Structure 1
Amino acid sequence: MRNFLERFYELYPHSEIQDYVKLAYQMSYGVTHFFTNSEDSLHFLKLETSQMEPHSDKFLYECLNDNLVRVNLRPYLAHHLDLEELNANFYQTSLLEMPKLSYFLDLAKESKSFLLNHGFKEAEFDEFMKDYKDRDYPPVHHTKTYTECYHPAYRLISRDRLSPQIKSLKIMDFLESFKKGPMTVIAFDGKCASGKSSVAQLLANELGATIIPADDFMDGSDAEIGINSKRLINDVLTKLQPEKPLSYGRYDCSTKKMETIKIPKVGNWVILEGAYSANSAIRKYLNLIAYFGISDAEQTARLKKRSPENFEDFQNKWIPRENRYLEKEQIVLHADIWI
């Protein structure tokens, strides 16, 4: 929760206590628009978007946590994306069973601690929550200040319903505003089964990006950081040159042997793709970090489908190690963009 509060504070510095409570409420209750069917929700979506000007001054979507995102309507329209698809995702998200009150109260407590460390007054927070409790914790709106500063217009959907295409569009929007040099190295780090490789391939097709899989350096030499960072630095990161060839050794886990990978010409965009790709040992060689998240339930479902024979190893060994790494290395906070 704290990582997401930090990012929210950074993006929306004029937020008030009520806006943070709304954030915690959405994380806990999800969609609270009580449409009886998807046709009604589509009608209201089309009505709302008919009155707004499309533009891309915000991210296409913003992550609330590993479970939910806010899809911003103006950039969604600017990309000429399908409103019916967005509505279907929104409506399906509204049907999800969410943790609700006890979880909300825990998040509110975390929010209070965070806000007190950022100059908010304890008495004001307590007074707001007392009044809020007296009203039986109803859905809450953004404040007037937040609305005037940021003009919120979005739909809440499950993060698991984001397509690789939507994720790649968010990254490309971000890259357009990034001042790049002759070569830009981007790490795609985050949870396994979160779509890193699919999005990397889309960007390779769209931008001519070169993909370096971090798994190529997973040779068992580091029990905590799952890749051989030293070999990655020496064989790849210090030798990358745009428009030049590159060769490096890939460790094959099945044969326990090295094989040579040859890249005829390195692109202007290089994607270091995979878990552990933004660890502190190699971070100085990176220009950007993208964090990929996924809900626990969806991660489990994807891994069971993708690698049923290895699922127990994922569950008992690889995922716990990955989660320890993400927490220790604070990848979420170091990330320039959340996918």
Structure 2
Amino acid sequence: MPSGLIALLDDVATLTKLAATSIDDAGAAAARAGSKTVGVVIDDAAVTPGYVVGLPPQRELPIIGKIALGSLKNKLLFLLPAALVISAFLPWLLTPLLMIGGAYLCFEGAEKVAHKLSGHHGGEGVETISDPAELEERQVTGAIRTDFILSAEIMAIALADVEASPIWQQAIVLALVGTAVTVGVYGLVGVIVKMDDIGLHLAKGKGAQAAFGRGLVAAMPRLLSTLSVIGTAAMIWVGGGIIVHGLAEFGLDWPEHVIHDAAVAAGGAVPAVHGLVEWAVTAIGSGIIGAILGAAIVGVLHLFPKKKDSPAAAH
């Protein structure tokens, strides 16, 4: 009997070690998958602060909290189960869905560039809402709707990185990525939107503290502008990279080979920072593809009559 108990305990210990290893593997896979969503995450962080513009400062963090909760529901209640169903029963659909999402990212990025170059601003002609509660509800609803599209792309990118893993590990990875991205993005957004208030508070002090506070307030517009530029660029290069990889999956692999060979050659020319150079060249190559595709989609869509922007869609 004692020997049987010892054997049982040994089996339990072995299973525990296996479970711990599997969870560690899932965590590592989540980190890898999450790193590939950086472009979408940056754009999400750049776009979201715009949803609290014009609202009372005391409502900024509660509104961001509502958006974050909606984002988490998008990822865990809707997109995660859908991703697992696709992985289990329609795995062939993942690459086309990723490419559709990639094309959308290229379009969004190219459209932002086109608006910037033309001087067009999406807020022109938008209906004004005087009721603060109605305005808040509209902003939250619009943000969650936009987040759903970006979240879908994040989950699809993460799933593509672990599609060969067991279904339970896919679920853990997607849940980890979805939760980590949501907490990270909206935590950062919360800091960004309150940074000017923090600066104003510090500016009431004396000496270096006051100078730092004034500098913080002055830096906010430039920070938001820089985030917007980085987010737009990230959308284009990530979208282009998804398209390039998707084309290779369907047999049209020369764009991927050209970009890869160029990146390796450039990295070899500067061995001290070859990794950084290879990444930069790959991003530039993917960005060129993404910009061409995005501009083409924008051009085609501009051939059709444009509907008047709805209040909920404006941001």
TM range, normalised to the smaller chain? under 0.3
Larger RCO (alpha carbons 8 Å, 6+ apart): 2
Relative to the length of structure 1, the TM-score reads: 0.24
- Answer with 1 or 2: which has the greater Rg: 2
